[in-house]
Structure 1
Amino acid sequence: MAASLLACGVDPKRTLLFRQSSVPQIAQLSWILGSLQTVAQLQRLTQFKEKATKFLQGNVPLGLFTYPVLQAADVLMFKVIRQVSSRVRSLRNPLKKMSKSEASAKSRLEISDSAEEIEEKCRKAVSDTNAQLSYDPQARPAISNLVSFLSNSNDYTLLN
């Protein structure tokens, strides 16, 4: 995974890469945070509700149920602000975040995707019927998502 990230252009001078399993404090903090949550609180989370519908008769794996707590521990442990992840949207539904758990592989770009696969996925991404190119995430989320990809991959700055 580290080699793939470096090959994608992640700058090792500006980025800390580590194996989560080699930091036991993350699991410990996750346990503490989990002890402060109720089942009802976790069941109300949008991510859980969306993914839980894929399982029959409520047979939802515990890992899926407690995963948001582990994510919170990850963020809190290192005081990380995930600015980029909040902007990366699905190629199939720009109102949702891009996610590896999405059923369609065409909804996301994978680190292991070839240049041809990335080009194909972006070509088939949802856009809209307006011929004008503009950036307006509220009115035109689909095309704005693609403009964001172009901007980020070419070091352009988006001006609203």
Structure 2
Amino acid sequence: MTKPRLYSGMQPSADSLQLGNYVGALKPWKALQEEHDAFFSVVDLHALTVPQDPATLREKIRRTAAQYIAAGISPEKSTLYVQSHVPAHTELAWILNTITGFGEAGRMTQFKDKSSRQGADATSVGLFAYPVLMAADILLYQTEVVPVGDDQRQHVELTRDLAERFNSRFGKTFTIPKALIGGDDARIYDLQNPTSKMSKSAESMAGVIWVLDEPAVSAKKIMRAVTDDEGVVAYDREKKPGVSNLLSIYSSLSGRAIPEIVAEYEGQGYGSLKKNLAELVVAEFGPVRERAHELMADPAELDRLLSRNADRANEAAQTTLAAAYDAVGLLRRG
């Protein structure tokens, strides 16, 4: 029986992935690769929509790939590669650009938000076309399932629209993908500002748990997490955002239901919850951190592994790209 095709990726935008990336993406990916023909990419081309130092970006690409593997994304079970190693991503993106409406692209929420903050002159065409490149990423592999966060839902809808439009105009070429959106339990908030999503762009790093943090650093951040004055361990996102966030993290890493955890800490203060959560985070990230550093210590071998996976990705991508080129009437090279 053929496994359904899956595609997802993350940008190499920091030296380390953070807890939200781990809970919201890497842990689900690890499980999903068992039942899917999974393609996971380090989407380095997307990272170019903001200014990058070339040497730093190159290092971040390797570090992100190493953390994928260290967290359990298997280069044998899945196709794990670097986006720019497969030229068909940008080639298909150009074709899709030609069937994307200017107003359609301009209505993407993330583009509107970022461009309104940056101003027109500081906003690149790359940022404008970002969702079209994402559509190419997905459609290139005849993807059926796209695990993404809720903030990417609109981009997957655009991908579906473009696939249907292309198929209608030029004949059946692309599979119409479906988004697999993580639930609220996969949403991790900042430890110091628990009404905002944990993010690499947070104003203060005190509220962000990094996968590659030293154990003492992670524990210290959790012990200093914002809670409230009630001293009652209970889940209520509106009234108790800080405590609820700690419970969500605990549940996500332990696999235990939140009501069960709440019952365990009945009559106890926040100190016990924080202490045990810190121990859980340190135990979870310890092996990941160790394995990631092993991989990063041998960049040549890591590069060879990524190259082999890129060959697999390129083979699948070229089949789709050739079909798209034929469909629109481009002349094949003789």
Calculate the TM-score normalised by the size of structure 2: 0.38
After the TM superposition, which parts of structure 1 deviate over 6 Å for at least 4 consecutive aligned residues? Answer: none
Written as runs of structure 1 = structure 2, the 5 A alignment for 1:44-55 is: 44-55=107-118
Aligned partner of residue 80 in structure 1, secondary structure = strand
User: What amino acid does structure 2 have at the position aligned with 1:132?
Assistant: V
Bigger Cα Rg: 2
Change (3 A) 1:66 1:107: farther
Which residue of structure 1 aligns with residue 232 of structure 2? Answer: 132
Contact kept? 1:5, 1:111, Cα under 8 Å: no
| Residue 88, structure 1, aligned to residue 183, structure 2 | no
Distance in 2 (alpha carbons) for counterparts of 1:139 and 1:74 = 40
Structure holding more strand per residue: 2
2:72 equivalent among 4, 10, 18: 10
1:103–1:51 distance in 2 versus 1, CA, 3 Å: farther
Please, what is the CA RMSD of the aligned residues? Answer: 3.6
Distance 1:36 1:126 in 2: 48
> Once the two structures are aligned, what percentage of the paired residues are identical?
32
Unaligned runs of 5+ in 2: 1-62, 149-180, 261-334
1:31 maps to 2:94: yes
Q: Deviation of residue 122 (structure 1)?
A: 3.4
Highest RCO, 1 vs 2 (Cα 8 Å, sep ≥ 6): 2
Q: 2:85 aligns with which of 11, 18, 22?
A: 22
Higher mean C-alpha displacement, 105-114 vs 17-26: 105-114
> Does the Cα contact within 8 Å between 1:89 and 1:95 map onto a contact in 2?
no
SS of equivalent residue, structure 1 residue 133: coil
8 Å contact kept, 2:188–2:249: no
> Of the candidates 213, 216, 221, which is equivalent to residue 113 of structure 1?
213
- Residue 81 of structure 2 aligns to a residue whose secondary structure is coil
Verify the 8 A CA contact 1:106 1:121 in the aligned structure 2: yes
* Higher relative helix content: 2
Aligned residues of 2:251 and 2:257 also touching (Cα < 8 A): yes
Matched, 1:66 2:139: no
Tell me the distance in 1 between the aligned counterparts of 2:77 and 2:124: 36
Displacement of 1:107 in angstroms is 4.8
**1:155 and 2:255 aligned:** yes
Contact 1:95 1:141 in 2 (8 A): yes
Describe the shift of the 1:26–1:153 C-alpha distance in structure 2 as closer, same or farther (beyond 3 A).
same
- 1:40-89 Cα shifts (integer Å, max 9, x gaps): 33333332233334425642123333323333443444432234597333
1:103 Cα deviation from its structure 2 partner: 4.7
Partner of 2:43: none
Secondary structure at the aligned position of 1:81 is classed as strand
TM-score norm. by structure 1 comes to 0.67
Counterpart residue identity of residue 31, structure 1: W
Q: Which amino acid aligns with 2:248?
A: S
How big is the shift at 1:152? 2.0
